[in-house]
């Protein structure tokens, strides 16, 4: 194994907080589909991704089953989806800095910004299952994901719809988002989103994608309502909002 590859894999193990016994499995988990001269002879990670997806689902389902003994299938399923969704895994991958490590291993390749990273997390879990079994996977998943479950549930809230409904009620108009590329980071891109209504700036948010930036701006708007609501003076409210209120009173 090349010294640069070994250096990258050791860095990954440090970030995961675990050491793989079989280095070939770890290398395979970080090998993306497609021809690459430097990676010839190493299978891509699709089979490990398949296995890791099943292991992750099983560990999370068992954890939630034991944690919420009175809940029905529907709420349990929604909780599980909050943990195993592609968005959650991609967020974890960014926290681990997987994009920069993948670039080091796949230098000539142009990596997709979102799709590769979440699948690599699943592949790493699949590799760990073959390397050390279910208990090691359970410890890793609980430490990296399940210990942050409240945060994950919070991320699943539809802040954008909430702020849209609120501003429709207060100002008679939906918010507008001006979302632009801000800068490149060591692990991808950063976008900034400015949320306004009737030309009044309400909040700003930053994220690794346009969607995440708008999510962050919506969450910030809900958290700072007392600061911006006074700016929506009666003169800024639309005629439709005023008519709507009059109709409600006349009923």
| Dihedral-angle region of residue 247 (phi above 0 means left; psi in -120 to 50 means alpha; beta otherwise) | alpha
Rounded CA-CA distance 102/187 in Å is 10
Q: What is the 3-state secondary structure (H, E, C) of 128-163?
A: HHHHHCHHHHHHHHHHHCHHHHHHHHHHCCCHHHHH
Residue 37 confidence (pLDDT) above 70: no
Inform me whether the pLDDT recorded for 113 exceeds 80.
no
| Residue 29 pLDDT class (50, 70, 90 cuts) | very high
What is the tens place of the pLDDT at every residue in 67-85?
Answer: 999 999 988 998 898 889 8
Highest mean pLDDT among 21-25, 98-102, 221-225: 21-25
Strand partners, 204: 194
Give this prediction's pTM. Answer: 0.67
Q: What is the pLDDT of residues 135-187, one digit of tens each?
A: 999 999 999 999 888 777 766 677 888 899 989 888 888 999 999 998 887 76
User: What is residue 88's predicted lDDT score, i.e. its pLDDT?
Assistant: 87
Share of the chain above pLDDT 90, in %: 45
Which tokens in the block code for residue 29?
A: 């988990």
**Domains of the chain: residue spans and CATH:** 3-155 (1.10.1520.10), 159-250 (3.30.160.20)
The token pair that represents 88 in the structure block: 């959650």
Residues annotated as catalytic are: 53, 122
The pLDDT value recorded for residue 79 is 86
Question: Is 244's pLDDT higher than 50?
Answer: no
């Amino acid at each position: 194994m090349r010294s640069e590859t070994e250096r990258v894999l050791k860095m990954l193990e440090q970030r995961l907080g675990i050491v793989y016994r079989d280095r070939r499995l770890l290398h395979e988990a970080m090998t993306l589909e497609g021809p690459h001269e430097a990676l010839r002879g190493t299978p891509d990670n699709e089979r490990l991704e398949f296995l890791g997806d099943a292991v992750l689902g099983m560990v999370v389902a068992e954890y939630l089953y034991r944690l919420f003994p009175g809940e029905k299938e529907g709420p349990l399923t929604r909780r599980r989806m909050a943990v195993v969704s592609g968005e959650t895994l991609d967020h974890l991958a960014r926290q681990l800095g997987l994009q920069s490590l993948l670039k080091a291993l796949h230098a000539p390749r142009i990596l997709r910004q979102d799709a590769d990273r979440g699948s690599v997390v699943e592949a790493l879990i699949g590799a760990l299952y073959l390397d050390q079994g279910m208990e090691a996977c359970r410890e890793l998943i609980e430490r990296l994901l399940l210990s942050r479950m409240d945060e994950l549930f919070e991320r699943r809230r539809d802040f954008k719809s909430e702020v849209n409904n609120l501003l429709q009620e207060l100002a008679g108009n939906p918010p507008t988002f001006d979302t632009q590329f801000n800068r490149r980071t060591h692990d991808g891109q950063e976008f900034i989103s400015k949320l306004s209504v009737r030309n009044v700036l309400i909040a700003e948010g930053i994220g690794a994608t346009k969607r995440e930036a708008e999510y962050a701006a919506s969450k910030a708007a809900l958290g700072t309502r007392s600061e911006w609501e006074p700016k929506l003076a009666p003169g800024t409210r639309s005629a439709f909002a005023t008519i709507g209120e009059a109709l409600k009173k006349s009923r």
